[in-house]
Amino acid sequence: DAKTTQPTSMDCAEGRAANLPCNHSTISGNEYVYWYRQIHSQGPQYIIHGLKNNETNEMASLIITEDRKSSTLILPHATLRDTAVYYCIVRPYPILTGGGNKLTFGTGTQLKVEL
């Protein structure tokens, strides 16, 4: 699976958009970009994933560059409850691998949302 690079930490004011970048310059054609987050001491929570088109759901938006070498997770109106470690993960879509939906977690970005 391709390696990802994320900033160690970021701050965001409550109510503002939080933009979390991720570099995945070695991504291959069949690999998707997944985002998970981990609120302190809890199990990780799935946020969103995408291949090449921008994606949006009730939690966030995912913007993937045209060359697919980087992406940005956007939390449009961050709240204190969004304070968490955010993980960007690149992996093939599970149906194509036949070996289970394995995830490789890095150290992620610690997002701190402040008043």
Residues that bind another protein (CB under 8 A): 32, 34, 36, 41-46, 49, 87, 93-95, 98-108
Would you give the DSSP letter of residue 65? Answer: -
If the CB atoms of residues 41 and 53 are measured against another protein, the closer one turns out to be: 41
If the CB atoms of residues 66 and 107 are measured against another protein, the closer one turns out to be: 107
Q: How far is the CB of 78 from another protein (least distance, A)?
A: 22
Spatial CB neighbours of 105, under 8 Å, sequence gap ≥ 6: 36, 44, 87, 89
Question: How many whole angstroms separate alpha carbon 33 and alpha carbon 22?
Answer: 10
If the CB atoms of residues 29 and 98 are measured against another protein, the closer one turns out to be: 98
If the CB atoms of residues 37 and 68 are measured against another protein, the closer one turns out to be: 37
Question: How many whole angstroms separate alpha carbon 93 and alpha carbon 108?
Answer: 21
Half-sphere exposure of 21 (CA within 13 A, CB side): 9
Q: How far is the CB of 87 from another protein (least distance, A)?
A: 7
Q: How far is the CB of 63 from another protein (least distance, A)?
A: 19
Residue 77's φ and ψ, nearest 5 degrees, are: -140, 85
Q: How far is the CB of 13 from another protein (least distance, A)?
A: 26
Q: Which amino acid is at 84?
A: A
> Residue 11 has which token pair?
């701050």
